[in-house]
Structure 1
Amino acid sequence: MTRVEAEPAAPQEITPAIWRLAGVIALGAFAGGLDTSLINIALETIQREFHAGIGTAQWVASGYLLALAVSLPICAWLGRRVGAARLYLWALAAFTVISALCGLAPNIESLIVLRVFQGLTAGLLVPTGQTILGQAVGPGRLGRVMARLGIAVTLAPALGPTLGGLMLHSLSWRWLFLINVPLGVIAILLGRRYLPLAKGASTTPPDWIGYGYIGLGLPLVVYGLTSWGELGSPDGARVLLPLAIGVAGLAAFVRHATRRAHPLLDMRLFRDPGYVAACTGFMFNGALSFGSALLFPLYFQLLHSDGVVATGLQMLPLGLGTAIMLPLGGRLTDKYTGGPVAALGAGLTTLVTGAFALSDHPGVVFVQFLLFGLGMGTGLATTPMMVAAFGIVPRDRLPDATAQINILVRIGGALGAALFSVIVARGLSEGAEHAFHTALWWQFGTAVAALLGTLGLWAALRTSDAPLTPAHPHSAGKA
């Protein structure tokens, strides 16, 4: 017999110790997220200094993103093995050291190799930080705490182009890497003091066969989608072949994991319809966020002929709207639960993207207003989805859930960026306005898909046998 969602309890007080814990994790997540977009704006400068081809220089960014995908599947096992907080500090220390080495790289080849290792360490930071918070904070306050982490995760990529453009205007590109060193050192010192440095539990050996499947399949899917966006056509060697092998690898991993007693990632979590709906929302929300981060800089540069710095400044309302709404989304989640709040945020995003698509020749002020609204919708939807998903899974499966969610966000982001770039590239033959008008309608469709995921999550929570409210024991993550 099903029961509807119970009335949520009053939000619990958050102690200073919990805020310090969230602040430490947010600082490390900010450093890792900043590097995702900060370097993209410097690729042309790096190419000129090292006298490299554009294809070679592109691997400074692509190598980092592919390495992120490689490390995500193993972080759940590593977190259980050595302890989530210890893994976080080791990954942060390695990221900081490698950032310094990137800033001192003598040639393009060494920079690419260092960026791969940097991506491997950065891929561990966000899911491990989410695991630490999910296990330490408890129900009734997780929304507000996760919102602080969400500010760092979402604001860093949004600020990357602006900060990178301003730094390149007066500093060497090497400072785009060296800026991570003081951030990392401060986060490590604070982490050693405030993080719960419990040792990991003994666990089964890693599922190397499963890791081989997903460790090959996931980066190939990301690479194929990224290449599709760069080339604008489904080239066989760089798009279709990697995609085919990557999808086969992921399918083999799922088949292997469902038959193994102790898989690398627990696929049994997908038996819960609420968790499936949350993951669907996350994947399309990732496609919308990453795709918009690529679409609108092109919009300003091709339609308004803005330069790099001006484009970065034009993008600020998007990140600002997200940063403003994340804390409100967290408070509403702790008070009303995640389902309705996530649906409200996704609904706002859908309305804004629809207004974008319906607008003909929008003025600069109106575009800024819509970007701000898009950021608000994204900020209002992200944290509630995360909290609701964490409430569904048992406490000891949180490492699996954080890894799976971040993997789906990465796949969705690669798909969204590729899709929007291909639509714009193909539409330019009929004029820039036609190209972006078409892309904005696809953006609206992506927002609708994310909305359907959040509505499915809300419906699943309302009809669950265990009402997932902040006061309910199951929402604390107990097995």
Structure 2
Amino acid sequence: MTTADPRPADSDKLDSGVLKIAGVVVLGAVMAILDTTVVNVALQALTLEFKTSLDTIQWVVTGYMLALATVIPVTGWACDRFGTKRPYLLSIGLFLLGSMLAGMAWNIESLIAFRVLQGLGGGMLMPAGMTIMTRAAGPHRVGRVMAVLGVPMLLGPIGGPILGGWLVDAVSWRWIFYINVPIGVIAFLLAWRILPKDQPRPAEKFDFPGILMLSPGLALLIFGVSKVPTAGGVSSVGVWLPALAGVALIAAFVLRATRIANPLVDLKLFRDRTFSVAMITLTFFMAAFLGAMLLLPTYFVLVRGESALQAGLLLAPQGLGAMLTMPIGGRLADKIGPGKIVVPGIIVILAGLALFTQVGADTSYPLLLAGLFVMGLGMGFTMMPISAAALQTLTQRSVARASTTMNIVQQAAGGIGSAVMSVILASLLAGKFGVPTSQGQLTATALLMNPQTHDAAAGASADAFASTFLWALVLIAVCLVPALFLPKRPPVRKEDDDQEPVIAPAMH
């Protein structure tokens, strides 16, 4: 049963009911995000286990991403049509089933198929979870709620490589999937018990033509971009043809969505100035920051010769910095407005990232760790306050569709940013060693493993990384422009046209 929110509009604290809901959502998000980063560390072990090529094994990651891109657009409609609780339980169930089967995979084909099943569940977890938390807390506390939801986004990239490296080395690659089973069972039971039983809305006609344009469009775009590093550039037919087809389908979806009553993604949201500015800021931020995050462990492994586990441990200061500032950033975004938090946060990130534009083959570890810590401090003031800004001026009715749109932007921008940084790095490495772009990283690895060529190769490789970090720095700096237009006042409670009340946290 939904009841009116009895708390005053200026109430600051997240009460126990909201915190319980947050705990359930964070557990689900940790499961999905951790899984992505854990698998990245295990790709080499999986290549050896199944005696396959790097091109084939990449489908373990790409298949998961494509499934995510396919299912995310459905989430907003599903949360409106069936309420948020049932789609959330379904997503946990699918992810849990996919994890169990992936751990039992008998060949590379079965592993890729089960990873797709995982992705179909994982794609709904974040947008549905974001919708549940925003509705439970109300718009006046959205910054604080986003700060809580930001924890798994930080713990995943930090804890994933550490946990994955340890499981692969000490136990078995199968446990990178089995580890989700106990977490998933607990998350499912807690969600069943704790999440509020919200009411489905009157059924709107599902936009089947829209899903047939948008989901394949996103999948083709991400597939094309993901092929760039192995294809050696954007000129390959295997890159530009699917990417161009994806862009065409997305463009067709956008044109159609502006002319029909109930599109799959509500483009009318972009009439809200705050939402539009936040989406532009988020696009540049995710592309640049996730691209830079891809480079950091690669630098430690390739240039400095660290193991996957050691590289994961070296990234920990970034997460520690973010964990210190994220709760503060969430509270301040609610009190003084996200615009006053995000701009200083981006400047702090730039200060930390600037160090990596000067990185060498023997840069001291204390200096690198300090740079990562500073970047983390800035991230705590940046990513989730941007998300909070996007949602704070919307009505309750709009939150599910807005969360879906935000997750589409995050997936697309993050995937494209990671691919672009990979291409820049591969091109620079290839230029240093006089080989084709597709051979840049393989050549660098071979030369670094040879004691006679190691020192020269390490210096050249470090130069390539420094130049690539400079591109990431420029993209982060671009974020400052739209960030200046984010709201500089605290959010104001806004009711729906039909005066739908905020969903009070309750036990069912």
CA distance in 1, matches of 2:11, 2:348: 25
SS in 1 for 2:251: helix
Render the CA deviation track for 1:373-399: whole Å, top value 9, x for unaligned.
112211211221111111122211111
What displacement does 1:10 show? Answer: 5.5
Render the CA deviation track for 1:443-477: whole Å, top value 9, x for unaligned.
111111222222122xxx35xxxxx6334436999
What displacement does 1:225 show? Answer: 1.4
Change in 2 beyond 3 A, CA 1:317/1:140? same
CA distance in 2, matches of 1:475, 1:164: 45
CA distance in 2, matches of 1:229, 1:123: 24
1:352 maps to a residue whose letter is G
What displacement does 1:322 show? Answer: 2.1
2:385 maps to a residue whose letter is P
CA distance in 2, matches of 1:289, 1:223: 20
What displacement does 1:266 show? Answer: 0.6
SS in 2 for 1:155: helix
Are 2:469 and 1:432 equivalent residues in the alignment?
Answer: no
CA distance in 1, matches of 2:495, 2:288: 31
Aligned length: 463
What is the match of residue 401 of structure 2?
400
What is the match of residue 475 of structure 2?
446
Change in 2 beyond 3 A, CA 1:156/1:381? same
Q: Is the 8 A contact 1:395 1:478 kept in 2?
A: no
What is the match of residue 218 of structure 2?
218
What is the match of residue 178 of structure 2?
178
What is the match of residue 26 of structure 1?
26
Q: Which runs of 5+ in 1 are unaligned?
A: 1-8, 463-467
Change in 2 beyond 3 A, CA 1:478/1:159? farther
What is the match of residue 61 of structure 2?
61
SS in 1 for 2:197: coil
For 1:23-422, what aligned pairs fall within 5 Å after superposition?
23-358=23-358, 362-422=363-423
CA distance in 1, matches of 2:16, 2:471: 44
SS in 1 for 2:13: coil
What displacement does 1:11 show? Answer: 5.2
CA distance in 1, matches of 2:99, 2:202: 32
What displacement does 1:21 show? Answer: 0.6
Q: Is the 8 A contact 2:142 2:392 kept in 1?
A: no
Q: Is the 8 A contact 2:333 2:341 kept in 1?
A: yes
What displacement does 1:174 show? Answer: 0.5
TM-score (ref. length: structure 1): 0.92
Indicate which of 494, 498, 502 corresponds to 1:473: 494
Change in 2 beyond 3 A, CA 1:476/1:49? farther
CA distance in 1, matches of 2:479, 2:412: 14
What is the match of residue 5 of structure 1?
none
Render the CA deviation track for 1:36-75: whole Å, top value 9, x for unaligned.
1111111222222222232222211110011111111111
SS in 2 for 1:140: helix
| More deviation, 67-76/312-321 | 312-321
Q: Percent identity?
A: 37
2:473 maps to a residue whose letter is F
SS in 1 for 2:485: helix
CA distance in 1, matches of 2:468, 2:161: 21
CA distance in 1, matches of 2:270, 2:54: 41
Q: Is the 8 A contact 1:291 1:418 kept in 2?
A: yes
1:107 maps to a residue whose letter is N
Q: Is the 8 A contact 1:229 1:417 kept in 2?
A: no
Render the CA deviation track for 1:325-358: whole Å, top value 9, x for unaligned.
2111112122212221122212211222234325
TM-score (ref. length: structure 2): 0.87
Q: Is the 8 A contact 1:214 1:250 kept in 2?
A: yes
Q: Is the 8 A contact 2:351 2:374 kept in 1?
A: no
2:257 maps to a residue whose letter is A
1:44 maps to a residue whose letter is Q
CA distance in 2, matches of 1:132, 1:182: 23
CA distance in 2, matches of 1:97, 1:470: 40
Q: Is the 8 A contact 2:289 2:472 kept in 1?
A: no
1:470 maps to a residue whose letter is P
What is the match of residue 453 of structure 2?
none
1:213 maps to a residue whose letter is M
CA distance in 1, matches of 2:359, 2:52: 42
RMSD: 2.0
1:143 maps to a residue whose letter is G
CA distance in 2, matches of 1:478, 1:338: 26
Q: Is the 8 A contact 1:350 1:451 kept in 2?
A: no
1:455 maps to a residue whose letter is L
What displacement does 1:300 show? Answer: 1.1
CA distance in 2, matches of 1:140, 1:344: 22
Bigger Rg, which one: 2
SS in 2 for 1:141: helix
Change in 2 beyond 3 A, CA 1:138/1:440? same
SS in 1 for 2:363: coil
CA distance in 1, matches of 2:144, 2:393: 18
Q: Is the 8 A contact 2:139 2:393 kept in 1?
A: no
SS in 1 for 2:354: helix
Q: Is the 8 A contact 2:393 2:492 kept in 1?
A: no
Q: Which runs of 5+ in 2 are unaligned?
A: 1-8, 433-459, 501-508
CA distance in 1, matches of 2:225, 2:474: 19
Render the CA deviation track for 1:225-247: whole Å, top value 9, x for unaligned.
11113333114332110111011
Q: Is the 8 A contact 1:337 1:470 kept in 2?
A: yes
Change in 2 beyond 3 A, CA 1:476/1:343? farther
| More deviation, 345-354/168-177 | 345-354
Q: Is the 8 A contact 1:390 1:475 kept in 2?
A: no
SS in 2 for 1:200: coil
Change in 2 beyond 3 A, CA 1:438/1:476? farther
What displacement does 1:91 show? Answer: 0.7
Change in 2 beyond 3 A, CA 1:124/1:472? closer
